[in-house]
Amino acid sequence: MAESMQGLKRTHRCGELSVANVGETVTIMGWVQKNRNKGGLVFTDVRDRSGIIQVVCEEGTTDAAIIEKAASLRAEYVVAVVGKVERRSGAVNDKIATGEIEVIPSELRVLSESQTPPFPIEENSKTKEDIRLKYRYLDLRRPDLQRNLRMKSQVMTLTRQFFSDEGFLEVETPMLGKTTPEGARDYLVPSRIHPGSFYGLPQSPQLYKQLLMCSGVDRYIQIARCFRDEDLRADRQPEFTQIDMELSFVDVDDVIEVNEKYLKKLFKEVLDVDVQLPIQRMTWQEAMNRYGSDKPDLRFGMELKDVSDVVKDCGFAVFTGALENGGSVRGINAKGQGSMPRKKIDKLTAFVKDYGAKGLAYVALQEDGTVKSSFAKFMTDEQMDALVKAMDGEPGDLLLFAADKNKVVWDSLGALRVELAKQLELLDKNEYRFVWITEFPLLEWSEEQNRFVAMHHPFTMPMEEDIQYIESDPGRVRAKAYDIVLNGNEIGGGSVRIFQDDIQEMMFKALGFTKEQAYSQFGFLLDAFKYGVPPHAGLAYGLDRLVMLMAKQDSIRDVIAFPKIKDASCLMTEAPTPASEKQLEELSLAVKAQEETVEE
Amino acid sequence: MAESMQGLKRTHRCGELSVANVGETVTIMGWVQKNRNKGGLVFTDVRDRSGIIQVVCEEGTTDAAIIEKAASLRAEYVVAVVGKVERRSGAVNDKIATGEIEVIPSELRVLSESQTPPFPIEENSKTKEDIRLKYRYLDLRRPDLQRNLRMKSQVMTLTRQFFSDEGFLEVETPMLGKTTPEGARDYLVPSRIHPGSFYGLPQSPQLYKQLLMCSGVDRYIQIARCFRDEDLRADRQPEFTQIDMELSFVDVDDVIEVNEKYLKKLFKEVLDVDVQLPIQRMTWQEAMNRYGSDKPDLRFGMELKDVSDVVKDCGFAVFTGALENGGSVRGINAKGQGSMPRKKIDKLTAFVKDYGAKGLAYVALQEDGTVKSSFAKFMTDEQMDALVKAMDGEPGDLLLFAADKNKVVWDSLGALRVELAKQLELLDKNEYRFVWITEFPLLEWSEEQNRFVAMHHPFTMPMEEDIQYIESDPGRVRAKAYDIVLNGNEIGGGSVRIFQDDIQEMMFKALGFTKEQAYSQFGFLLDAFKYGVPPHAGLAYGLDRLVMLMAKQDSIRDVIAFPKIKDASCLMTEAPTPASEKQLEELSLAVKAQEETVEE
């Protein structure tokens, strides 16, 4: 069975050995990657975090007992090897860093045996994700996930060091906080000492960090765990991590400045990528007009064009109807896609329906100058020519149009633009295009709640010049809010906060809160604001998403050590699990039978 | 009301200004510490995180509007001041770093007004703690708490940097984990998607960090939030923070070595204190014998002496009875306290009763050579002389004895020793005495559960030479466990872990677990151990307690930004609070009426 490592001390990690160590006696420890028995030779690849080293036993040279033991090794056994580093007698392996050397063992111990693992420990696993998540401890042995863990650790260390050097203090804020019924759903934690009462796990440290500004902390940073009990979409986790910061006595430019410096350093040190400063800024309005998205991917063009004016008098009722309803007609030009088969266009039409569009109108410009179009019959030739011209259409192009309310048109064409870029392989994961999106609307209308809701949160400062409209035309008010977008992903966002009583009151009124409602939720913050509050602003990054992009991964699960699946459960631990009667009793809680719930 | 800071940019923090800035025009922002109007002069002390600067307006020199505004300032108003730095015309203030200079304002803005705060913002507040906690955002403005926050931030930054440099990876482990009914009480988090099921908030990342070792992470570090739903004692919080680490392919000495290096660096950089390496080591048995505690305070002597042999034939039934029941008689010598009044001795007797002792026997050695004693009448002169001699008693000393089971004697005299040191003011907060306590018992008998329980946790490795006793004499088995103790506080602890199936099985058996019980709780870890597990060991520090000692504070609440009080509630946010009907409904939970619970 298992041998002890007593008396041994590891001298090197496997991947740290090189020709510089030739002649030295070393002690390495790790997992057997593979083991080959070949003509009196036993080759054992030993793996640890740093890489792989080949251990070679040869009949006649190596002690017979060691050869026998080596020959019996199987994949994932844990071994300790004492031996001499030598230049390879056989062929050099260019694929691994230690490919020029091998270790000739004088001692070999089996520290731990292994059953056959349920899937091989190798790069780019083809094993189904749910099997890998069940055996996550094995999955994490794979080199790609090891690299991701390492990169995330590096990003966290570098982030803290950078902000510490910039005068930020790391302050821990509570996890067991106050639950607020507004906004996204809190995870609740029942209190045993106060039956019927609950803590809320934080959706972000927002209120605490503003309080820290009231306390004179001046510059705050925390890599903070956050929680949201929402139905999970592909790229969401019930718990996630924010790089969270707040600064006093600053305005938009100050926040942007220190964060640009941070991003430049981060991408240089981790990826050797040069981020050009200043990072481009774009207003929310421009981003929607040009890209149909507040997180535009700038790695490719295919911008939206507003052709409302061009088509306003045409005979195509879909277009004119949309305009009459206050909407718009916009299009994108898929260069060189004029010969896209009808079936594929139909698929794109189905695609945009997920975004609320009723359909997609197209114009396929043939190489011979003719036009295939779903709506040509409603247009005069002049109208069609004007439309093609407005879209910079050239022979071989495919023009795609949506006509609806602005929001629907933007959402549909914005998503379509990215979908086409994927299909046409226009997205280079090695290119990093940043953009700040600024001047977001302060409020957006919620059909569901039949009132304005805060686009960021209720403490976001309106732009000075728009405060006058907050009562008369709330939808027009722009906020001192900003998002940092990377390759079509919002990686961070924040705002300048309201620090004046009167503006805060206007804001609550615009949101339809009574003073009592505001106080019951945010009373301690409003109280704090009575005792001298500095102007302040902040920003938070989604750490998991940031690292996902840096690691060129497609899922945040690949950069989280122990992620949960869509139903918020953990395949490895099987959490959540039923509580015992005693646990429920202590919490003065009863679980309602499901039938009962249904009956009500 | 509030003025905007638009157009202004802070150039310095208040405390950063010095005579080097004389002649410069600067912009500072901060809180009004105090404001004095004196013979045509207005002196305003402006405070921020860095310190205080004096702003002076003089009639005739300063603009009248500014003087008027300055005169109207009240404590805790937030102001922005543009002005010229000059050498003080009046007396230099030695008490503050900027005492040689003042700022003559050319512009003054009131960014935020303040009501009169409920208590003054000053060092060493005499305000009751519950008021300070309710207004924690004001409390945190006080210089002592600001220093504590700064020190904690520095400790965290330095800790991460150190361990990163030593090859540790920071890995985040889940907060929403699996609840286990064993051990301390978990905080539960109900699942909305899985009605009746609950997550457990982690009491420590123990299982995850061992899994990370199985994954080949090799060296792991995390500053991790942990939770324990226990009745709070003075120095406990429902959530607290651990510096948590685990290492592969190591034994006790490796863990101790890297942590000694860490402590040396930490104390040097933060406090300019030199920690002498290697840190003293002491076995658990020695610590109990000499100090009656597994966390001995080595800043003073007053060691326990076992006098069982000396008194075994005396006529004092309290002593001989304890010995007959398998216990012991031990004493401490309170040097020079021979004239302690009887009343004070009675108080000490009451004190040790909290630790299970039935009483305290004393011998007061008078300066004139006579003896006052509660039990002299049961002893011959020879017996008394022998006892005094065994205790190194000299005229003027006070000898205090306890006789009972070992555990009671140790607990009582160990606590008494510290209590006397407090009363005699032997404890110097500027002295830092470290000691490693090693070779803890693996198991301890639980009267409550009528079985052996793990002293550390069920994965702690027994010492090789003691494994043979694990079935025959479990109480005798020592563990490869170690605590790091500073000035009588356990600041950290850890162990080498079991990584062999057969030993783990013996351990579970000794704990009275069936295989099913072990699997239902730790199944995923036991499964992981089937696929090649490296020898590994770890350690965790209590960050809050460590910083408390470094900051020379008496309560961990003073080093936590937003602490909870004894009933686990937050006086500032009032958390926990009742959940809404909708929230409970979504979680399929009902709160049991309190009466109902009582009736059952």
* Domain boundaries of chain B, sorted by first residue: 17-110, 144-280+433-556, 299-426
Nearest CB to B111: which of A535, A572, A589?
A535
Q: Do A218 and B13 touch (CB under 8 A)?
A: yes
Q: How many CB atoms lie within 10 A of CB B8?
A: 19
A497 among annotated binding-site residues: yes
Nearest residue to A384 via CA among A392, A376, A394: A376
Q: Do A591 and B196 touch (CB under 8 A)?
A: yes
**To probe the interface with A, which of B10, B145, B153 has the most A CB atoms within 10 Å?**
B153
Nearest CB to A188: which of B208, B211, B587?
B587
Q: Do A575 and B254 touch (CB under 8 A)?
A: no
Shortest alpha-carbon distance between residue B421 and chain A (Å): 34
- Chain B residues in contact with A216 (beta carbon < 8 A): 30-31, 47-49, 140-141, 146
**To probe the interface with A, which of B176, B191, B214 has the most A CB atoms within 10 Å?**
B176
Residues A103 and A278: their CA atoms lie apart, in Å, by: 51
Q: Do B225 and A175 touch (CB under 8 A)?
A: yes
Helix axes A406-423, A284-291, angle to 10 degrees: 60
Please give the order of strands across the beta sheet that includes A434-438: A169-170, A219-227, A239-248, A536-542, A489-496, A481-486, A434-438, A281-283
Instruction: Give the helix/strand (H/E) hosting B121.
Output: none
Helix axes A252-271, A143-165, angle to 10 degrees: 140
Q: Among all residues of chain B, which has the CA nearest to that of A581?
A: B181
Give the amino acid at A174. P
Nearest residue to A103 via CA among A115, A119, A87: A87
Backbone angles phi, psi at A134, to 5 degrees: -65, -40
Q: Which residues of B133-168 are buried (b: 16+ CB within 10 A; e: fewer)?
A: bbbbbbbbbbbebbebbebbbbbbbbbbebbbeeeb
Nearest residue to A301 via CA among A177, A238, A392: A392
Residue pLDDT, tens place only, B310-342? 999 998 999 999 999 999 999 999 999 999 999
- What spatial distance separates the first Cα and last Cα of chain A, rounded to whole Å? 59
The complex's ipTM works out to 0.94
Q: What is the pLDDT of residue A595?
A: 54
Calculate what percentage of chain A has a pLDDT beyond 90: 84
Residues A457 and A540: their CA atoms lie apart, in Å, by: 13
- CATH for the stretch A17-110: 2.40.50.140
The lowest-confidence range among B187-201, B475-489, B508-522 is: B508-522
- Chain B residues in contact with A27 (beta carbon < 8 A): none
Residues A172 and B70: their CA atoms lie apart, in Å, by: 36
- Chain A residues in contact with B579 (beta carbon < 8 A): 179, 188, 196-198
The residues near B452 (Cβ < 8 Å, ≥ 6 apart) are B443, B444, B445, B446, B474, B475, B510, B511, B512
**Are the C-beta atoms of residues A38 and A67 closer than 8 Å to each other?**
no
Give the global pTM: 0.95
Residues B298 and B357: their CA atoms lie apart, in Å, by: 24
Q: Among all residues of chain B, which has the CA nearest to that of A570?
A: B177
Nearest CB to B2: which of A189, A500, A569?
A500
The CA-based angle B396-B397-B401, given to 5 degrees, is 150
Residues A528 and A507: their CA atoms lie apart, in Å, by: 18
Residues B157 and A162: their CA atoms lie apart, in Å, by: 10
Residue pLDDT, tens place only, B166-177? 999 999 999 999
Residue pLDDT, tens place only, A464-483? 999 999 999 999 999 999 99
- The answer on pLDDT for A165 being more than 70 is yes
- The answer on pLDDT for A581 being more than 70 is yes
Shortest alpha-carbon distance between residue B22 and chain A (Å): 23
Q: Do A583 and B188 touch (CB under 8 A)?
A: yes
Shortest alpha-carbon distance between residue A8 and chain B (Å): 9
- Chain A residues in contact with B254 (beta carbon < 8 A): 9
Residue pLDDT, tens place only, A339-385? 999 999 999 999 999 999 999 999 999 999 889 998 999 999 999 99
Three-class secondary structure of residue A241 per DSSP:
strand
Place of tokens 């000692």: B549
Shortest alpha-carbon distance between residue B424 and chain A (Å): 37
A229 among annotated binding-site residues: yes
Residues forming beta bridges with residue A372, ordered by sequence position: A364
Kindly list the distances between the CA atom of residue B284 and the CA atoms of B293, B356, B447, B495, in Å, as whole numbers in the listed order: 8, 21, 21, 14
Shortest alpha-carbon distance between residue A437 and chain B (Å): 21
Nearest residue to B316 via CA among B390, B360, B379, B389: B379
A144 among annotated binding-site residues: no
DSSP letter at B229 equals: -
Nearest CB to B175: which of A112, A212, A239?
A239
**Are the C-beta atoms of residues B487 and B431 closer than 8 Å to each other?**
yes
Backbone angles phi, psi at B223, to 5 degrees: -95, 100
Nearest residue to B171 via CA among B595, B575, B538, B542: B538
- Chain B residues in contact with A156 (beta carbon < 8 A): 160, 170
Nearest CB to A579: which of B179, B248, B534?
B179
Q: Band of the pLDDT at A597, cuts 50, 70, 90?
A: very low
Nearest CB to B528: which of A137, A186, A574?
A137
Q: Do A178 and B76 touch (CB under 8 A)?
A: no
- The answer on pLDDT for B234 being more than 70 is no
CATH 3.30.1360.30 assigned to domain B299-426? The reply is yes
Place of tokens 């106050």: A178
Q: Do B530 and A200 touch (CB under 8 A)?
A: no
CATH 3.40.50.300 assigned to domain A144-280+433-556? The reply is no
Q: Do B560 and A218 touch (CB under 8 A)?
A: no
**To probe the interface with B, which of A188, A223, A242, A463 has the most B CB atoms within 10 Å?**
A188
B99 among annotated binding-site residues: no
A313 among annotated binding-site residues: no
Q: Do A227 and B10 touch (CB under 8 A)?
A: no
Residues A49 and B443: their CA atoms lie apart, in Å, by: 34
B182 among annotated binding-site residues: yes
Name the average pLDDT for chain B. Answer: 94
Q: Are strands B281-283 and B434-438 parallel, antiparallel or unpaired?
A: parallel
Q: Do B175 and A178 touch (CB under 8 A)?
A: no
Q: Among all residues of chain A, which has the CA nearest to that of B210?
A: A137
Q: Band of the pLDDT at A93, cuts 50, 70, 90?
A: confident
B490 among annotated binding-site residues: yes
Q: Band of the pLDDT at B389, cuts 50, 70, 90?
A: very high
Nearest residue to B107 via CA among B71, B157, B65: B65
Mean pLDDT of A574-585: 92
Q: Output B594 or B358, whichever has higher pLDDT.
A: B358
Q: How many CB atoms lie within 10 A of CB A60?
A: 7
B166 among annotated binding-site residues: no
Residues B188 and B179: their CA atoms lie apart, in Å, by: 7
Shortest alpha-carbon distance between residue B79 and chain A (Å): 8
Backbone angles phi, psi at A261, to 5 degrees: -60, -40
SS (H, E, C) A356-391: CCCCCEEEEECCCCCEEECCHHHCCHHHHHHHHHHC
Mean pLDDT of B190-197: 95
Q: Band of the pLDDT at A234, cuts 50, 70, 90?
A: low
- Chain A residues in contact with B249 (beta carbon < 8 A): 5, 10, 29, 80
Q: What is the pLDDT of residue B597?
A: 45
Nearest CB to A208: which of B208, B533, B562?
B562
DSSP letter at A90 equals: S
Mean pLDDT of A71-85: 97
- Chain A residues in contact with B585 (beta carbon < 8 A): 597
Q: Band of the pLDDT at B521, cuts 50, 70, 90?
A: confident
Q: Band of the pLDDT at B1, cuts 50, 70, 90?
A: low
- Would residue A182 be called left, alpha or beta, if left means φ above 0 and alpha means ψ between -120 and 50 degrees? beta
Q: What is the pLDDT of residue A518?
A: 86
Name the average pLDDT for chain A. Answer: 94
- Chain A residues in contact with B173 (beta carbon < 8 A): 561-562
Residues B259 and B84: their CA atoms lie apart, in Å, by: 50
**Are the C-beta atoms of residues A139 and A76 closer than 8 Å to each other?**
no
* CA dihedral for B298, B302, B307, B308, sign (positive or negative): negative
Residues B533 and B536: their CA atoms lie apart, in Å, by: 8
Give the amino acid at A282. M
Nearest CB to A499: which of B2, B532, B582?
B2
Q: Among all residues of chain B, which has the CA nearest to that of A575?
A: B178
Nearest residue to A159 via CA among A270, A276, A251: A270
Residues A479 and A495: their CA atoms lie apart, in Å, by: 8
Q: Which residues of B51-68 are buried (b: 16+ CB within 10 A; e: fewer)?
A: bbbbbbbeeeebeeebbe
Residue pLDDT, tens place only, B110-124? 999 999 999 999 998
Shortest alpha-carbon distance between residue B586 and chain A (Å): 10
Residues B153 and A212: their CA atoms lie apart, in Å, by: 14
Shortest alpha-carbon distance between residue A282 and chain B (Å): 21
- Chain A residues in contact with B77 (beta carbon < 8 A): 532
Shortest alpha-carbon distance between residue B55 and chain A (Å): 18
Q: Beta strands of B187-327 (E only): which ranges?
A: 188-190, 197-200, 219-227, 239-248, 281-283, 305-306
